[in-house]
Structures are given as structure tokens and as C-alpha cells.
């Protein structure tokens, strides 16, 4: 069995037969493992292990790279990005091995689901941008490069990370189909599902963009020291202080 043959149908199907039933079983197994890998949220793990805090309590409340940058600085943002990218790559390659090319797209989707709704962290995670980027890089590198160029251009001109992410997800299925017209319908369906999920996860960002309230990206993070209060708590304390001052007056 050549590597190309293995990647086409997957090891599971090669060992137990290439029937539809066997492929579905292998895809379900890949989906479960991909979801569990996705649930290992790097931002939450780093904030808990290093800072004894939870990144979801600060900033935007998101457990992704951008909020890690704003809250803890560049170093931990990069570590978070690499961690999320590596788990997505591992999930996609597991999908490849078990169920072939289509299994890679199945694993891609369920890894993002796990990242957004992690079973280990009360089903509250990130928005899946880093996972999505890494998965697309593993699945279709040329598509990734085109989307990366589009993302960089949008962020350079607007300073909105969320806008770049949403726009890339909107065009991803179309770019994928145009560059790979012979792609299997299963792969196309799961690429559409992945795009729709990431856009859905950005619904609050879309609302802020529409109202002109979205924060612009900057390379000057407001990193905090261990144990320092987050933005939400600080705002609450300020509100209480103002109420007390008004009562005193």
C-alpha cells in the first residue's frame, strides 16, 4: 500500500474494507478524537498553569490568541497560537490516517467544535481561528496561502482581526472549490460547516463591527502580572466606588 493510497481511503478502511459502513465508523472515531484534541484549549491551560487564572475571565472572555495577547502579552499569545495550531494539525492527520482525505475535513470540523465548546472546560472556549488556519494548511496549503494573504491585507488596512477572520471564512469554501473543483462532496460539506461555525462564533464581533465598537488590534498588549485583577472585575469595582461617592454626596 502506497502513501497516496493510504491517504485516499485511510488505514482503517484499508484494514477492514472500503465499504460505506466502515468509512462512517472510521469517520466517527476520527471525529471523537478530533473533538477531544480540540477541547485541549491552550489559552485556558496556559492561563491556569502559569498564572493560576482563567483567561476567559478577562478581556473579551475569549480563550484565543488575540485575548491572550491583550491580557498576558506576546510570549503567551505565541505559545497559545502554536498549541492550538498543533492540536488541529494532529487532529487532521489523525483523520487522514483513519478515513483518508474526507476524514481530514471531518476531523477539521470537529476539532474546531472541541476548541469552541471544550468538554474539559465547561464548553466555553475560543473562536477557532488558529485551529482553522492550521487545519487548512494541512489539508490544502495553496488555499491557506491565499487566505493568509487576504487576512493580512484586511488586518493591515483595518486593524480588525475579527473582520479578517470572518472575511476569510466567508470565501474559504468558494476558494477551495475553485482551486480544487474535483474535491469530494463530503470534504466540501465539512468545509462549509467549519466556515459557518467560525462565523457563528464571531457573531458578537460582527455586531461590534456593525456598531463601530470593535477593538482594533495592536502590538502593544496590556499584559498583567500574576494575580492582578481583570478588566471586568476592575470595572465592577469602579462602578461600586462611583455609587458610594454618589451616596456620600
Residue 218 backbone dihedrals phi, psi, to 5 degrees? -140, 150
Quickly state the pLDDT bin for 249 (edges 50, 70, 90).
very low
Quickly state the pLDDT bin for 97 (edges 50, 70, 90).
confident
Q: Where along the chain do its domains lie? A: 3-234
Query: With 50 as the cut, is the pLDDT of residue 232 above it?
Result: no
pTM of the entire structure? 0.82
If you average pLDDT over every residue of the chain, what do you get? 84
pLDDT at residue 22, as a whole number: 82
Quickly state the pLDDT bin for 222 (edges 50, 70, 90).
low
Amino acid at each position: 500500500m502506497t502513501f497516496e493510497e493510504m491517504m485516499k481511503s485511510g488505514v482503517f478502511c484499508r484494514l477492514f474494507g472500503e465499504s460505506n459502513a466502515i468509512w462512517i465508523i472510521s469517520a466517527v472515531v476520527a471525529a471523537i478524537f478530533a473533538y477531544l484534541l480540540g477541547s485541549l484549549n491552550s489559552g485556558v491551560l496556559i492561563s491556569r498553569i502559569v498564572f493560576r487564572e482563567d483567561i476567559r475571565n478577562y478581556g473579551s472572555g475569549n480563550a484565543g490568541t488575540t485575548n491572550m495577547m491583550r491580557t498576558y502579552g506576546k510570549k503567551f499569545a505565541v505559545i497559545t497560537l502554536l498549541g492550538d495550531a498543533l492540536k488541529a494539525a494532529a487532529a487532521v492527520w489523525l483523520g487522514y490516517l483513519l478515513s483518508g482525505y474526507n476524514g481530514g475535513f471531518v476531523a477539521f470540523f470537529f476539532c474546531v467544535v472541541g476548541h469552541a465548546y471544550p468538554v474539559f472546560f465547561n464548553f466555553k472556549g475560543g473562536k477557532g481561528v488558529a485551529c482553522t488556519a492550521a487545519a487548512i494548511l494541512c489539508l490544502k496549503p495553496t488555499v491557506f496561502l491565499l487566505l493568509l494573504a487576504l487576512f493580512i491585507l484586511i488586518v493591515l488596512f483595518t486593524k480588525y482581526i475579527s473582520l479578517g477572520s470572518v472575511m476569510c471564512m466567508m470565501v474559504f469554501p468558494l476558494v477551495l472549490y475553485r482551486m480544487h473543483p474535483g474535491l469530494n462532496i463530503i470534504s466540501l460539506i465539512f468545509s462549509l460547516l467549519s466556515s459557518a461555525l467560525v462565523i457563528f462564533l464571531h457573531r458578537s464581533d460582527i455586531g461590534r463591527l456593525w456598531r463601530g465598537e470593535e477593538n482594533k488590534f495592536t502590538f502593544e498588549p496590556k499584559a498583567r502580572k500574576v494575580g492582578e485583577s481583570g478588566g471586568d472585575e476592575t470595572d465592577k469595582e469602579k462602578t461600586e466606588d462611583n455609587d458610594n461617592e454618589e451616596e456620600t454626596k
